Amino acid sequence: MEGQVSSAAENAQVRPMAVADLVQVLEIAAGLPDAPHWPQSAYIKALDPAASPRRIALVAVGSSSAVSGFAAASLVPPQAELETIAVAAEFQRQGLGRRLFDALVDELREAGVREVVLEVRAGNRTAHSFYRSLGFGEVGMRRAYYTEPVDDAVLMRLRLGQM
């Protein structure tokens, strides 16, 4: 019924990732075969404001404060690379991925980013559809870029344009 609709995205808050979130972030990634599986040290580096390149990492948290998704991008303005975005399986397809990405774009714009690029496994059709829904277009392909299993990398780009 209208007015009673509640989705993960509506209930979620998006905020910067903190070291205290990493146990949950690693758990979500471990449960998703298609998510990049960064070691904890890579996330800790991503949270270091002095690291180069600079990274922005965000988490989505639900009403119980549990982490339900996360995203990270590296920045070399005017370009940024979306390095990872993942939503826990039970919260997928409820608008949370889009919500995380929109929040990330707000921060990227503030940092002077005008274009976001990414690489995605050709076989990851869900991610491909997701990125296309966000406005990304294909700009290239790297043959057999990924291993275990071998797969092509599709390169995608989104121009953020003027605000």
**Residue ranges that bind ligand COA, judged by CB under 6 A:** 32, 34-36, 84-87, 92-98, 120, 124, 126-127, 129-130, 133
Q: Which of 81, 83, 119, 145 is catalytic?
A: 119
Looking at the Cβ atoms of 57 and 86, the one nearer to ligand COA is: 86
Q: How do 79-87 and 115-121 pair as beta strands?
A: parallel
- Token pair, residue 106, equals 């707000």
Judged by DSSP in three states, 159 sits in strand
Task: Work out the end-to-end distance of the chain between its first and last CA atoms, rounded to an integer number of angstroms.
Answer: 36
* Helix (H) or strand (E) run with residue 98 in it: helix 96-110
Question: CA quadruple 103, 104, 109, 112: dihedral positive or negative?
Answer: positive
Q: Catalytic site residue 131?
A: yes
Q: Catalytic site residue 146?
A: no
Residue nearest to ligand COA (CB): 97
- Whether the Cβ atoms of residue 73 and residue 81 lie closer than 8 Å to each other: yes
Looking at the Cβ atoms of 104 and 113, the one nearer to ligand COA is: 104
Looking at the Cβ atoms of 153 and 160, the one nearer to ligand COA is: 153
Catalytic residues: 119, 131
